[in-house]
A and B are shown apart, each in its own frame.
Chain A
Amino acid sequence: KQEVTQIPAALSVPEGENLVLNCSFTDSAIYNLQWFRQDPGKGLTSLLLIQSSQREQTSGRLNASLDKSSGRSTLYIAASQPGDSATYLCAVRANTGTASKLTFGTGTRLQVTL
C-alpha cells in the first residue's frame, strides 16, 4: 500500500527566504506526482504536475523535483511571500491497480511572516 509522508509538518519562515518542502513515497511505481496548495477552508489548487519520466517542473517561483527511484520529491519556493502561506500537499498516482486515484501526504503547513 502506497504511503506518502511530508516533512516538515509545519514551517514558519520570514518573507524573502527560499525554502524546501519534502515529500516521500514508499512505492516507486508511480505514474505521476502532483503538488497542491490548500488555503484554510478552501479546496485544492494544483501547482505542479511531474510525470514519472520527468525530473523536475517549474512554474514561476516554484520548482518541483522528482527522484522516483528513491521515492522522493521536493518543492522549492524561491523568495517566499506572505501570500505563499498555506498548506502544501503532495499526491502520487499509482502506475497499476486503481491507476487514477491520488494518494495524498498529510501536508506541510507553511507560514511566511513579514
Chain B
Amino acid sequence: ILNVEQSPQSLHVQEGDSTNFTCSFPSSNFHALHWYRWETAKSPEALFVMTLNGDEKKKGRISATLNTKEGYSYLYIKGSQPEDSATYLCAPGRDNYKLSFGAGTTVTVRA
C-alpha cells in the first residue's frame, strides 16, 4: 500500500480568501499523482494528473504543484467561492494501474 497523507483533514475558508493543502507520499518509485474533486452527493471528478517533478497545473482558480523528490503536492484555491466546497482527494501511484486515494481534505467555503 502506498502511504499517502493529506493535510489538513478539513479547513474552513472565508469567501474570497485563498487556501492551499498538501498531499504527501513516499518519493520512491513515483509514477504519477492524481487530484480529484468530490462534491457532496456527487461522484469524484478529476482535476489534474501530474507526473513531472516541478510540474504545475491550473484549472480556473485551482492550481497544483508537484515535488516528486520530496514527495508532496500542493493544491491551491485562489479567491475561494462557495462552489469550491468539496473534498479534494489525491492519489499517488507507483504504476499506471492501481489508483488508491488518500483520506482527502474537506474544504468548506463560508459566504
Bind each other: no
Write the residues of chain A forming the contact surface with B, with a CB cutoff of 8 angstroms: none
